[in-house]
Amino acid sequence: MPDAHSRALAALKRRGRLRALEGRAGLDFASNDYLGLAGSTELADAARAALDRGVPVGAGGSRLLRGNHPEHEALEAEAAAHFGSETALYFGGGFQANTAIFSTLPSRGDLIVHDALIHASVHDGVRASKAEHAIAPHNDCQAFDDAIRRWRARGGMGRVWIAVESLYSMDGDRAPLIDIATVAARHDAMLVIDEAHATGVLGDHGRGLAAVLEGCAEVVSLHTCGKALGANGALVLASRTLRDFMVNRCRPFIYATAPSPLMAAMVRESLRLCRDEPGRRTAVLRRVGLFNQRVSSGIGLPVSGSHIVPVIVGGDTRAVALAAAIRSRGFDVRAVRPPTVPEGTARLRITITNNVSENDIEQLAAALGDELGRLAA
């Protein structure tokens, strides 16, 4: 008799939701390596130089034991200066950092209000928090305000924490950050902004969409290092008080082996490239404009205007079939299904990076139009 795990896997397969690991094949329209830094000669040269000067691959322990390395501290100082924050704290990854923020900083008696489409890591952090929480419909500033007012009317006395992404990972649309910041200020709330998919690509010197808000004591931002920066880890930008609190109370920080000092050196180089070589951002944004134009005018699909372009087809099996057809033509495009996205919105998640040429983009747009036509026939 099959056990519960086998039955669950069989059910996923019947619904077209069974996941499996697949290798890389075809042109990259699936990764988050937006600037094309992950395999760049610049980062490879920086890695060799760091190894030559004695930077170790492993940390050997948590930051509070022997794992703290000068490369970690140098990165944090440079990141704080780059993003305009008082301090930074380096984590091993974005998922870890997001769960750390929300499981540590909001206290019992506080309220967390987050966007409905925010990263899964935030949901996990909220579940681990002692604070109450509420969900606001996507990009609905009035809903954030209403949720806070209802909580206060019921007697809520603590601090409010508002959580959004600056650029949403599955839809590629922007948060109305200035309007949300206004709501936060009205309620003396903390605003936590996940810049994962904006870092390196958007904003002055790739500082993200929330750069105009950085440096405010009431703003916490997260910048992942494994997407456009081409490395690994994540940086939490916050006031010194909040950073020190996390160092003392944050279990995902205290009890985790420190990130690789070599990777910290790579992130430092990535930040330098963002600051000193804007041509990479110019190039990817030109490609973004081309693909969005081709998809909008050539195929008639709605577009995000960003480097993340969802092609929503609805059904799970339809999305899987469409992705397979596109991959068979030499383009690495993946299907994303619930629960990662809402029910009935299974999609292709197409990303535009510097790993492809403008001609590649033209060809993908043509192939996408062909296969969508076949799917509808």
Catalytic residue numbers, as ranges: 32, 119, 165, 169, 194, 197, 227
**Residue carrying structure tokens 């205007």:** 305
Tell me how far apart the alpha carbons of residues 102 and 171 are, in angstroms, rounded to a whole number.
Answer: 23
Q: With 0-12 CB in 10 A as exposed, 13-18 as middle and 19+ as buried, what is 38?
A: buried
Give the sheet arrangement for strand 346-351, strand by strand: 308-314, 346-351, 334-336
Measured between its terminal Cα atoms, the distance across the chain in Å is 42
Q: How many residues does this entry show for the chain?
A: 377
CA distance 285 to 196: 17
Identify whether the C-beta of residue 257 lies closer than 8 Å to the C-beta of residue 59: yes
Contacts of 116-123 with C-beta under 8 Å, sequence gap 24+, read 117/165, 117/168, 117/170, 117/171, 118/163, 118/164, 118/165, 118/194, 119/94, 119/95, 119/165, 119/169, 119/194, 119/196, 120/95, 120/340, 121/94, 121/95, 121/96, 121/97, 122/98, 122/163, 122/194
36 and 354 in contact (C-beta within 8 Å)? Answer: yes
